[in-house]
């Protein structure tokens, strides 16, 4: 059984720096960067406060690797060299506070709003969103966009990147048999539908230094995904050992799967039992207390990915040294969130989460 003290043990990886503890800041959408993707002072303050607050790894929000892959207004960008100055400043400040730094690389695919990107792209034509299918050449360009963004993160001084393969964004769209009806090498069998993911991993590894830390975020449910297929893809990613950590976004680490045939045990257990070799495993999903984070480690995971609790308390890892710590009760006041480093735009975004922010 893991105790809360185990959360403060350092964690080492095949590549890149050790994290000083088992807490990773979840990549959190917040809509507080500039319309052109440049880092804002608000975003700089929010992230550097978390590094200062004791997170072993400070992860940016999803940063889009192509202008056409933007997923929401005010999204951080990493698709152009113009973004380098802000990212370089951010990486240096995260490091100054003793936290490892990572940029999450993202493309929204058919979830890109038309008013932001014009024509969204998808594995196959999607009448529901008005997205059109990527051409084969555009899929190759997508792989290049992820690789070029990773190179930019490296140039900016980040310790690594995380590939966003979760939540129904472009990689998950390729993995989905519902959304991906292609008949070329990126469609059909699960092997073909996963090809984009493996090509991105290979391209980033080929283009970045040997000790650049590479993570991957996956989610095993919703958006047309099948748990059995995601487990199969995950096992192959782990077998190849080209990533350093896997970040499973489970919505709730204590929940059972939605698919009937997999019920009767925790969704988290379907991933902790995989043979992962040297790859480290973490999970996100309603981890609000030190005890819940310790329980995840007791269930076979290596680190805890903290989202809501990190929004409520910039120094959640430090507060977690008290095993009995409970986060502030929700709904919270906008003033509390602003004191914790959220801009007014981020506070407004959090109003979309039922019961999180006091009514205006």
pLDDT single digits (tens) 67-85 = 999 999 999 999 999 999 9
Q: Are 32 and 345 in contact (CB under 8 A)?
A: yes
In terms of phi and psi (left: phi > 0; alpha: psi -120 to 50; beta: otherwise), the region of 124 is: beta
pLDDT of residue 360: 78
pLDDT of residue 1: 62
Q: Percentage of residues in the chain with pLDDT exceeding 70?
A: 99
How far is Cα 58 from Cα 79, in angstroms, rounded to an integer? 20
Helix (H, G, I), strand (E, B) or coil at 239: helix
pLDDT of residue 63: 98
DSSP string, 68-119: GG--STT--B-SSGGGHHHHHHHHHHHHHTT-EEEEEEE--GGGS-HHHHSS
Q: How far apart are the first and last CA of the chain?
A: 43
Name the pairing type of β-strands 160-164 and 100-106: parallel
In terms of phi and psi (left: phi > 0; alpha: psi -120 to 50; beta: otherwise), the region of 10 is: beta
pLDDT of residue 46: 98
CB-based burial label for 259 (10 Å; 0-12, 13-18, 19+) = middle
pTM as predicted: 0.97
Within the chain, which residues score under 50 in pLDDT? none
Q: To 5 degrees, how large is the angle CA 193–CA 196–CA 202?
A: 135
């Amino acid at each position: 059984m893991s105790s809360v003290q185990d959360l403060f043990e350092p964690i080492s990886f095949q590549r890149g720096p050790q994290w000083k503890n088992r807490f990773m800041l979840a990549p959190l959408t917040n809509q507080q960067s500039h319309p052109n993707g440049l880092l804002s002072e608000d975003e700089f303050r929010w992230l550097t406060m978390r590094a200062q607050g004791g997170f072993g790894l400070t992860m940016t929000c999803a940063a889009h690797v192509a202008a056409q892959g933007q997923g929401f207004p005010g999204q951080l960008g990493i698709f152009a060299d113009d973004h380098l100055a802000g990212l370089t400043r951010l990486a240096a400040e995260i490091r100054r506070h003793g936290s490892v730094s990572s940029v999450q690389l993202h493309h929204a695919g058919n979830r890109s709003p038309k008013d932001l990107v014009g024509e969204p792209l998808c594995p196959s034509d999607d009448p529901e969103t008005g997205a059109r299918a990527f051409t084969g050449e555009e899929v190759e360009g997508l792989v290049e966009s992820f690789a070029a963004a990773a190179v930019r993160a490296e140039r900016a001084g980040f310790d690594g990147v995380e590939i966003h393969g979760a939540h129904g964004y472009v990689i998950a769209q390729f993995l989905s048999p519902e959304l991906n009806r292609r008949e070329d090498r990126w469609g059909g069998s699960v092997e073909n539908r996963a090809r984009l993911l493996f090509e991105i991993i290979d391209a980033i590894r080929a283009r970045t230094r040997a000790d650049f830390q590479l993570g991957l975020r996956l989610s095993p449910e919703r958006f047309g995904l099948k748990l059995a297929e995601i487990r199969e893809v995950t096992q192959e990613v782990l077998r190849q050992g080209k990533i350093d950590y896997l970040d499973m976004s489970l919505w709730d680490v204590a929940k059972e799967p939605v698919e009937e045939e997999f019920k009767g045990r925790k969704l988290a257990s379907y991933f902790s039992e995989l043979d992962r070799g040297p790859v480290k495993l973490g999970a996100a999903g309603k981890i609000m207390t030190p005890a819940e984070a310790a329980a995840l480690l007791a269930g076979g995971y290596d680190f805890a990915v903290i989202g809501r609790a990190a929004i409520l308390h910039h120094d959640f890892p430090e507060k977690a040294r008290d095993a009995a710590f409970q986060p502030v009760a929700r709904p919270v006041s906008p003033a509390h969130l602003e004191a914790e480093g959220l801009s007014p735009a981020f506070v407004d975004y959090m109003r979309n989460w039922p019961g999180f922010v006091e009514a205006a």
